[in-house]
Amino acid sequence: MDRDYILNLQFTRNEQTKIVCPQCGVGRLACVPKSIFMKASAEIDYADPESCDFVVSGILACSFEECRYPISFAGIASTEPAYDQSPSGWSYHDTLTPKFFFPSLPIFQIPKNTPSTIAEELNLSFSSFFNDTLSAGAHARNAVERFLDENGVSREISAKNGKNTKLKLHKRIELFKVSEESLAMRLMAIKWLGNEAAHGGVLSKKDILDVYEVLSFVIDDIYVHRSRAVRTGEISKEIECKFKQV
């Protein structure tokens, strides 16, 4: 997804967005004009409508007729002048800025064979992206924990007293580094950002998009490219067994 577009996501009630439908992957999400509900946060000054802010809710639907998948949104809106073909040469239109989506808007495509534990944390992160970057960062960090779970990295280690000691994420990534140095380096970066989120630091949307780009690479590497490598390796052996000349 276009990073700049997501960073500054706004649209009008008659606009088709650049957001690819998460259901079919074919159409683009577009506003359903009749679904839009706007309420002024104060009494409207019709002499200066730009001075008034609004809360807004509505529905985006897939533009592909055979899909029409809906996603609801809520956020804020503003009224701004725009040049058009009216007698005065301009008129006011509403600019909608979403803060929440349901179901959550996938900022990057999660591969279908990604374990549900990882996908759930990613979707929770996506759901917070537009309104709470600290929560988005915390769930991205949790996705790293779930990723390590799914890839066999232990959560605990046996201590000398016979009791199990819970391993911190940093140590778990170091254990993963033994076999996956390149991916572990990327996960460690996400861990540091997650620490910032956990301690109430300051994270921008750009910071979260950076994390999503790294996470997307790591997940694709394991659940797309390597999965295809295993599958194509099996197919190659089948072909060889069937057609190899003795």
* CA–CA distances in Å: residue 170 to residues 166, 188, 203, 217: 12, 7, 20, 20
Greatest pairwise CA separation for the chain in angstroms = 89
Using the predicted structure, report yes or no on whether residue 236 has a pLDDT greater than 70: yes
Burial 60-97 (b: 16+ CB within 10 A, else e): bbbbeeeeeebbebbbbbbbeeeeeeeeeeeeeebbbe
Q: Which tens digits make up the pLDDT trace of 135-155?
A: 999 999 999 999 999 999 999
8 forms beta bridges with none
| Cβ–Cβ < 8 Å for 211, 190 | yes
Residues 148 and 143: their CA atoms lie apart, in Å, by: 9
Mean pLDDT of the chain: 89
Residue 244 confidence class, pLDDT cut points 50, 70, 90: confident
- pTM for the model: 0.84
Residue 84, classed as helix, strand or coil, is coil
Q: Which tens digits make up the pLDDT trace of 166-203?
A: 999 999 999 999 999 999 999 999 999 999 998 888 89
Residue 69 confidence class, pLDDT cut points 50, 70, 90: very high
Supply the angle between the helices 133-150 and 181-198 in degrees, to the nearest 10: 140
Q: Which tens digits make up the pLDDT trace of 87-135?
A: 666 666 788 999 999 999 999 999 999 999 999 999 999 999 999 999 9
